Amino acid sequence: MKNLLLGHRRLIGFIVLAVFFALVPLWVDSPYYIDLLIVLMINAVLAMTFVMLLRTGLISLCVAAFWGIGAYSSAVLSLKAGLSFWACLPLSTIITAVAALIIGYVIIRNAGFTFVIMTTVLAMLFVTVVGNIQWLGAYNGISNIPAPDPIDLGALGSIVFDSKVDFFYLGLILFVIVILVINAFYASWAGRAWNAIGLNPRLAQSMGVNVFRYRLMSFVVGCAIAGLMGSFYAHYQTFIIPTAFNLFPKTIYIQVFAVLGGVGYATLGPIVGAGLLSLFNELFSGFEEYSIIIVGVLVLVVVVFLPRGLLSLGEIPARIRDWRSRPGGGGGSSTKVAREPDTPPGEAAGSGSP
């Protein structure tokens, strides 16, 4: 039984986390804190997409831009085309994926620093272009985005989506689906190829891995997931503006969520990072002018002393034991090699006098 639990501890931990989130509204009745949890789930998913690209050696600064593409696509489809949320959600995800495929085909060929610059320009262009299109509301944004259509459950009643709790459970369902999809990719050949590319792209290519194709796949999947959450965000807020998807501070915070929790933990790291930073912003809500400075110092401390993130705290005891067990380590026994005393040149070591 113990071996069974250890072999499925990741799945068990995921189930426990999902059940915990599902029970939160039972003892938290404040709409403010429910809203905080919804935003936390959105931020965690966006950070997961950043980690997905980072696994292939790509540092993307345009996650928020594709989040915005999903949000604006869903808003336009619902207001201009008259589609329901349940049609807008998959369509906006597909639109975002197609946009990522076209853009990624061009910019992913230039990996490294060039890719970082291109995604930075893309993030700034999105806000500027959308902000100057009157049809999209320009910088005034789009308002009156309809909520999801009610779900009829027959004898059990219907879900009307007129409260934050209803949106919380909808967001939780999307949150769980995204985690399952991401973990499925990591467990597949694609995930193993991503890890190989992240470690050494030239070596991976010499082993038969198509680096460009798998990087493009990672880019499209990550952006599509961001677009999915953008659609949910638009219908939850019922109002969106271009500056909500700006490079700073949104994209920067997405990276902070990932780094703070630990980029080595594909799903749990972003959840922990987003949760702790959300709690931090809540505790220091009265000191907003200093929050950026404090967050920066916190990230620097984590990067220097815990380069694998806060989740690597559990690895410290094992590292200490490993250090102590090494020859010459603190508390460990060191083995000294005995050697012969120095002998004059021409004499064999250990030879006696006649």
Structure tokens at 125: 């262009």
Is pLDDT above 50 for 339? Answer: no
Q: Name the most confidently modeled range: 149-163, 183-197, 238-252, 319-333.
A: 183-197
* Mean pLDDT of all residues in 96-112: 92
Domain ranges of the chain: 33-245
Q: What's the pLDDT tens digit per position in 33-43? A: 899 999 999 99
Q: Name the most confidently modeled range: 102-116, 150-164, 317-331.
A: 102-116
> Is the Cα torsion angle 46, 48, 50, 52 positive or negative in sign?
negative
Structure tokens at 32: 């403010």
* Mean pLDDT of all residues in 343-347: 40
Question: What residues have CB less than 8 Å from 108, skipping those under 6 apart?
Answer: 58, 115, 212, 215, 216, 219
Q: What is the pLDDT of residue 8?
A: 60
Structure tokens at 157: 């009643």
Question: What residues have CB less than 8 Å from 88, skipping those under 6 apart?
Answer: 73, 74, 77, 78, 231, 235
d(CA 85, CA 93): 12
pTM: predicted TM-score of the whole model, two decimal places: 0.85
Q: What is the pLDDT of residue 307?
A: 83
